[in-house]
Chain A
Amino acid sequence: GIQVEQSPPDLILQEGANSTLRCNFSDSVNNLQWFHQNPWGQLINLFYIPSGTKQNGRLSATTVATERYSLLYISSSQTTDSGVYFCAAYAGNNRKLIWGLGTSLAVNP
């Protein structure tokens, strides 16, 4: 099945800094999503982005399907951005969403 790898595994930022999180996948995908899990465990869907670029406030995501990667950009980071960012994908008719192990982000004031 598809493999999903995220980098870096851990990231520490000062408030106001920008960052880029990467998600590599082993096969062509027709479903690629980014999620955020806050320090209290709540999971939130950020983007559904099988291809192209989307923006939502200070967050944006780009998926280059032909090169099998997706990037999540966080600009002007805030302490509330802390938590774990996951990407997840599936390929073809396999409807099982496969999740990466996440990037753990800590934003310090």
Chain B
Amino acid sequence: DSGVTQTPKHLITATGQRVTLRCSPRSGDLSVYWYQQSLDQGLQFLIQYYNGEERAKGNILERFSAQQFPDLHSELNLSSLELGDSALYFCASSVGDNNYGYTFGSGTRLTVV
């Protein structure tokens, strides 16, 4: 157990639907990072939050949004889902906002049918 908890582990949903992925960072970590891993594009950085504030934004689609709550857990919301959104979504956390020292969660596998 890495200390970073992601739920759910698996999610199957239909096109056009909306889902929420949840991440609880390791105790003491203030940064949360979201990544998408697909077969054809490798790991893509989506967004980073540090202590509740957005710190950096990657190639996150407008249909996707995220936030970090006062208790530091984070949620990634994916809406108007398309087949191409099927991927592994990873959350990572770190103590600071310097983008290293990551601890990854085990990921959420999203399948859009």
Contact = CB atoms under 8 A, between A and B. Distances in A.
Contact of B2 (A42, A90, A102): A42
Interface residues of B, number: 22
- Chain A interface size, under 10 / 10 to 19 / 20 to 34 / 35 or more: 20 to 34
Nearest to B55: A95
Interface stretch (B67-75, B76-84, B102-110): B102-110
Interface string A36-58: 00000111110010000000000
Given A41-B106, A42-B2, A99 B99 contact: no
Majority-rule SS of B interface residues: strand
A51 B82 CA distance: 41
Interface string B34-64: 0000000011110010000001111000000
Given A41-B106, A42-B2, A42-B106, A96 B58 contact: yes
A89 to B, nearest CB: 10
Interface string A5-24: 00000000000000000000
Interface of B: 2, 42-45, 48, 55-58, 88, 90, 92, 98-104, 106-107
Interface of A: 31, 33, 35, 41-45, 48, 86, 88, 90, 95-102
6 contacts: A31-B98, A43-B90, A45-B100, A45-B104, A88-B43, A90-B99
